[in-house]
Structure 1
Amino acid sequence: MNRIVITLLLFIFVSSSSFAQERNGEGREKMRSRIEAQKISYITQKLDLSPKEAQQFWPLYNELEKKKHDIRVRSKILFKKLYRGKDSIPEEELLKISDNLIDLRLENVQLEKSYHIEYKKILPAKKILDLYHTEKQFQGMLLRQIKEKGRRQHGK
């Protein structure tokens, strides 16, 4: 239990300093890398993988995360295109953009499904479900930190 508390406190401290560094000019890519490292640390601690499981799991997980990141980048490009010229883009082009956005969502779901199948080959069901729960917990922690940071900035 103490290990969890210490890990969480360390995580919060590192995250806070990371957000401060972002404000001081550190690039988004470095921030993303730091968050990914924190996420890996958090997942590692929560899943308690055996050495054999870890050796098989992490390459798969990292591969999936890279593919999901690529989908997010492609989606972001479409949204930027949409909001830069939403009022001047012809209806046919808007339909293409909306179709492409749905296709990217479907691609993401298919990725999740295919990697879920791969995870089942190397991890027990409990650890797979723990992974999904842990990822949600991590997202929640990040959102709370962002909200808190916003409150502190607006409260000043």
Structure 2
Amino acid sequence: MLRFRHLSITLSMLLFYVLCVNAQQRDSKRFAAIENEKVAYITKELNLSQAEAQRFFPVYNQYNKEMWALKSEKTGSSADAPRGASSFNGSGRRDVLSYDAKELEVKKEYRKKFAEVIGNSRASQFFEIEQNFRELLYKELQRRNK
């Protein structure tokens, strides 16, 4: 009887693991599809030539990686604070303003890098286009939930 119990617990844990991995793969496919749509949207809205896109998107990928790291730190997904900023103020509460300030610094830094590739006007326009994409994504999510 003890053997059967041990076997059933092991099988249950294995099934749980398989289901979790499968769910993560589905989520990563959805995320990849959204990222592909975002790249296409940015390319279209910034009117990037193929040569510009080849130079722009490696810089964009670095920017995106830094922004994701900051957002996960801000929401508490990571224990590390942004470079040069403390994640907690003296009262033990997370200092959201320091994350917002760091986010602004990163955007200013990458605006310069984007300008080297696509020019000042389109580099400035990028952040508006990125926000517009987020709004479109949010509206689509709301539409699907109705």
Q: TM-score, normalised by structure 2?
A: 0.66
Number of positions where the alignment pairs a residue of Structure 1 with one of Structure 2? 115
Does the aligned pair in 2 maintain the 1:78–1:97 contact within 8 Å? no
Which structure has the greater CA radius of gyration? 2
CA distance in 1, matches of 2:104, 2:118: 20
2:48 is paired with a residue whose SS is coil
Question: How far off is 1:114 after superposition?
Answer: 0.3
Higher RCO (CA 8 Å, separation ≥ 6 residues): 1
Which consecutive residues of structure 1, in runs of 5 or more, have no partner in the other structure? Answer: 1-23, 80-91, 152-156
- 1:29-71 per-position Cα deviation (integer Å, ceiling 9, x unaligned): 3322221111011111222212332222111111000110111
Alignment of 1:22-41 (within 5 A): 25=23, 27-41=26-40
CA distance in 1, matches of 2:67, 2:33: 17
* 1:145 aligned to which of 133, 140, 143: 140
Equivalent residue for 1:55?
54
Equivalent residue for 1:102?
97
- 1:58-109 per-position Cα deviation (integer Å, ceiling 9, x unaligned): 1111100011011111222269xxxxxxxxxxxx98833322x322222111
Q: As a proportion of its length, which structure holds more helix?
A: 1
CA distance in 2, matches of 1:93, 1:132: 29
Alignment identity in percent? 22
CA distance in 2, matches of 1:95, 1:32: 36
Give the letter aligned to residue 120 of structure 2: A
Equivalent residue for 1:126?
121
Question: Relative to structure 1, is the Cα distance of residues 146 and 95 closer, same or farther in structure 2, using a 3 angstrom cutoff?
Answer: farther
CA distance in 2, matches of 1:113, 1:43: 18
CA distance in 2, matches of 1:113, 1:72: 17
Q: TM-score, normalised by structure 1?
A: 0.62
1:119 is paired with a residue whose SS is helix
CA distance in 1, matches of 2:76, 2:104: 19
Equivalent residue for 1:112?
107
Does the aligned pair in 1 maintain the 2:115–2:122 contact within 8 Å? no
Which consecutive residues of structure 2, in runs of 5 or more, have no partner in the other structure? Answer: 1-21, 79-87
Question: How far off is 1:130 after superposition?
Answer: 3.4
Does the aligned pair in 2 maintain the 1:53–1:123 contact within 8 Å? yes
